[in-house]
Chain A
Amino acid sequence: GDSVTQMEGPVTLSEEAFLTINCTYTATGYPSLFWYVQYPGEGLQLLLKATKADDKGSNKGFEATYRKETTSFHLEKGSVQVSDSAVYFCALSGGNQFYFGTGTSLTVIP
């Protein structure tokens, strides 16, 4: 069945460092892909999305490209800030369910 696998955390980076959080997926059809962010005590917030191969989603300096050939949707940011500290979830919409990864915790230190 469909599934999403994202890199284990936690991830700790210094401010202004480059961020990559890996996400790969398995799907039988042509899913849409999403990244969500969750701050402490809050629900998941949509960060960006891509609905077809080669689409690039972007928001708040974060980017992810839908790569069908590698079944990946890695999240990147060129220069992280302390305020980016949160848990990030990769998700897939397809088949008969919405699938979420288990989340990657990011801590950015000054």
Chain B
Amino acid sequence: DAGITQSPRHKVTETGTPVTLRCHQTENHRYMYWYRQDPGHGLRLIHYSYGVKDTDKGEVSDGYSVSRSKTEDFLLTLESATSSQTSVYFCAISSSGHDGNQPQHFGDGTRLSIL
């Protein structure tokens, strides 16, 4: 299994509070991704990174920011959490970008509930 650790695994917080989710990898892969998974929507890309300090937006980036100061860590921040951001969040890594032929490998997810 790919070495991907997401933390925390579960979190409950209140509307308006900041939240940071962490993804840590031990594979030294260049590309890292944050997705959210919601019933009826499948997986939706929030942000991705193609190198240290190099990030770009996905299809549902509003309300989220990311940072990547080291190859192994990719942080997702909800600046002011809203109930619509209640979801399961997955981190993924890949050795090639999305136009390559290498798969993405996923962490076990963070279940985030915003009350």
Binding site for B on A (CB under 8 A): 29, 32, 34, 36, 41-46, 49, 51, 89, 91, 93-98, 100-103
Specify the main secondary structure of chain A where it touches its partner.
strand
CA of A32 to CA of B102 in the docked complex: distance in angstroms? Answer: 8
Q: With A89-B43, A98-B45, A102-B42 as known contacts, state yes or no: A51 contacts B101, CB within 8 Å.
A: yes
Task: State whether the Cβ of B27 lies closer than 8 Å to any Cβ in chain A.
Answer: no
The interface stretch among B70-78, B79-87, B103-111 is B103-111
B99, A102: Cβ atoms closer than 8 Å: no
Q: Which residues of B contact A44 (CB under 8 A)?
A: 43, 90, 92, 106
CA of A93 to CA of B48 in the docked complex: distance in angstroms? Answer: 14
CA of A49 to CA of B105 in the docked complex: distance in angstroms? Answer: 13
